Amino acid sequence: MSRRKTRPQDSARRSAAPAAFATPTACPCGLPADYTDCCGRLHRGDAAATTAEQLMRSRYSAFVVGDTAYLLSSWHPDTRPGTLDLDPRTRWLGLEILGTEDGGPFHAEGTVAFRARYREGGREHVLDERSRFSRVDGLWVYVDGRFAD
């Protein structure tokens, strides 16, 4: 997921209370596990993704919990942005893995097609993307993504 947040044009929409990222109990990636035992392990650096799909899921969860450091460190150095600005008011609603190609424990590259739904500015949006992953020093990283037509 490469989507960089833009600041909303309509500042009047801003709520009085500052929005904040919260640590969820159930893992946002959709697997039936607690965040702490699922993507949280990857975010904390206690485990590394063994497949491209696992990295994809952990990156989605990083968007949900606002872990920009993880998003940047799991980005290929050739395509990684200098900074990443996440809007805590974006409500991520769910991730659906549509298909994978390679990206397994014995592959060096892989692609993951996914659909992510989010709410922003009072409207629901759907992000359909096909992401490419490769390994750097043995670890899966996100290379880039193409939006589905």
Residues that bind Zn ion (CB under 5 A): 27, 29, 31, 38-39
Nearer to Zn ion, 94 or 121 (CB): 94
Minimal distance, residue 47 CB to Zn ion, in Å:
11
CB of 139 to Zn ion, least distance (A): 17
| Token duo for residue 1 | 């997921």
Cα-based distances in Å from 57 to 13, 25, 73, 134: 30, 16, 15, 15
Q: Which is closer to Zn ion, CB of 50 or CB of 79? A: 50
> Closest distance between Zn ion and the C-beta of residue 9, in Å?
33
- Name which of 78 and 96 has its Cβ closer to Zn ion: 96
Q: In angstroms, what is the minimal distance from the CB of 38 to Zn ion?
A: 3
- C-beta closer to Zn ion: residue 31 or 127: 31
Sheet architecture: strand order including 123-136: 91-102, 109-120, 123-136, 139-147
Cβ–Cβ < 8 Å for 51, 142:
no
Collect contacts of 98-101 with beta carbons under 8 A, ≥24 apart: 98/128, 100/51, 100/52, 100/53
